[in-house]
Amino acid sequence: MVFLVLLLCVPLSWSQEVVPTFRVDLQPPEDLQRQAVVERNVITSWITMPVDHFDPHNSDTFQMRFMYNEDYFGGDGYPVFIMVGGEWNIAEGWLRGGNMFHMAVENQGYQIYTEHRYYGETLPYTNFTTENLRFLNVDQALADLAYFIKELKKQPRFANSKIILYGGSYAGNMVLWFKQRYPHLVVGGVASSAPILAEIDFTGYLEVVHDAFLSEGGEQCIATITQGIQDTVAAMETEAGRRSLEAAYRLCAPLDYDDKFTLGYFSGLITWRFSGVTQTAAPGRIINICNNFATNVYGETPMQKIGGFIAAEAGLLTCWSMTFQMLILTYSLNNNNRAWYYQTCTEYGYFQNAPSSGTVFDALKWLDVEFYAEVCKVAFHPRFDEAFLFDAAKRVNTMFGGLHPDVNNTINIHGTIDPWHVLGVHDRDLKESSPTFTVPRASHCFDMQNWLTTDTIQMTQVKQNTRRLVARWLSD
């Protein structure tokens, strides 16, 4: 029987082609959900929310999801800690462990996790037509949070509670922007890895990925990757080269080599794995990959090494299916992926374009603004062209101040190998009351985690400083 099941299952999964993603989205690590923790009481609830906070003529509402843990709440006068949700589904883990959880325990706080509109189960509309997505923007999402806090404070047990926000990644932006826009509603906030500058041509991302591989893996690793990518681009020029490229990268079918958007997508396949590894790297991780390049674990030639690395990291069982049409299809479903792409077209850009010089990725010239804009145009509306994108980012930077927000009582944390840190303020305090902590060799949102044995001494210090400062805001 066992053999029968195996025989049935294996060919089935092998017959599936895989449509890869091509960029790494912002998202804090979710390790806590898999961690064995003592079961604690996290409860899910819902609140009725206006669809449009800024138009009194519109009385439509939707249900916003949130979770809470009141196990440690001291009662009247004790604080409320809100973990701000971003472009993902909320989950119980962050109310059962992590840096905010420990702060809440220390200060006898009530803990809440709010879900961002249009993500998870918080759906003003279930059909994500471009028309229906017009209420998806950070202005509405911040107003949701303001409305939520006002409703919460109506309960007598929270009337005297101070509110602290914590958020990572895009939700880190939300923390800084909320404190700036609604300073009367919260006493302070912790923003982890917040890329507060909207940027369309974001070549800085891959520059940090390059720097991380250089500083962790050294010149030899960089030479291998450079050669592998240059050989890949050269291979596109001949029929024999193309066949060896398709084999090295495990492609299901030849690429459309005449279509620059398909080549943009293929370029994204290459950068995406290096990006993903860097954005989530625990100390030692990148060194390990460079060792694998050196000892031919992924393949023999430089091009085979790159293709093998991507397949191994992704756990690919079959082959990559790479047409631009299939990429667009992945953005046509009513899910988080489509909602976030919409926000990048209409607010942030964050397009991880190939730099033109100085990095291992320079040869991947098809990964440019035109490529990302084409996805915006086809997935949403022909009007979403390059000029539209640049205007959108300009609007966000005007509204919130770009790299110069005017905000008191926030803590702004970054890691030097997190590719997103270059869109945040990482080299100065925002203000005397809003310090910045930048942690060497740390990646995206790592301060949000539990205290780990793999933490560097600098990371431990930053977590301690954060907790001390939050305790001080609460005692003032």
Q: Which residues here bind ligand NAG, judged by CB under 6 A?
A: 127, 129, 183, 406, 408, 433
CB of 176 to ligand NAG, least distance (A): 12
- Closer residue to ligand NAG in complex, CB, 348/380: 380
Nearest distance from C-beta of residue 85 to ligand NAG, angstroms: 24
- CB-wise, 178 or 293, nearer to ligand NAG? 178
Q: Which is nearer to ligand NAG, 108 or 408 (CB)?
A: 408
Nearer to ligand NAG, 237 or 406 (CB): 406
Give me the residues paired with residue 188 across strands: 164
Minimum CB separation of residue 216 from ligand NAG in Å reads 39
Report the DSSP pairing between strands 188-192 and 410-415: parallel
Q: Which is nearer to ligand NAG, 129 or 288 (CB)?
A: 129
C-alpha angle 340-184-160 in degrees, rounded to nearest 5: 110
Give the pair of three-digit tokens for residue 315: 């756990």
> In terms of CB distance, is 182 or 388 closer to ligand NAG?
182
How would DSSP label each residue in 150-214? HHHHTSGGGTT--EEEEEETHHHHHHHHHHHH-TTT-SEEEEES---S-EEE-THHHHHHHHHHH
Q: Least distance from C-beta 126 to ligand NAG, angstroms?
A: 7
Rounded to whole angstroms, the Cα distance separating 149 from 159 reads 11
In the three-class reduction of DSSP (H, G, I as helix; E, B as strand; rest coil), residue 391 is classed as helix
Minimal distance in Å, beta carbon 61 to ligand NAG? 20
User: Rounded to the nearest whole angstrom, what is the least distance from the CB of residue 431 to ligand NAG in the complex?
Assistant: 7
389: Cα separation from own chain's centroid? 19
The residues, any chain, with a CB within 8 Å of residue 108's CB and separated by 6 or more, are: 72, 73, 74, 78, 79
Degrees to nearest 5, angle at CA 404 with 401 and 407: 90
With respect to ligand NAG, which residue has the nearer C-beta, 300 or 406? 406
Q: In the complex with ligand NAG, which residue's Cβ is closer, 226 or 334?
A: 334
DSSP state of 348: I
Residue 345: CB minimum distance to ligand NAG, A:
19
* ∠ Cα 229 235 241 (to 5°): 140
Helix (H) or strand (E) holding 274: helix 260-279
Work out how close the CB of 410 gets to ligand NAG at its nearest, in angstroms, rounded to a whole number. Answer: 11
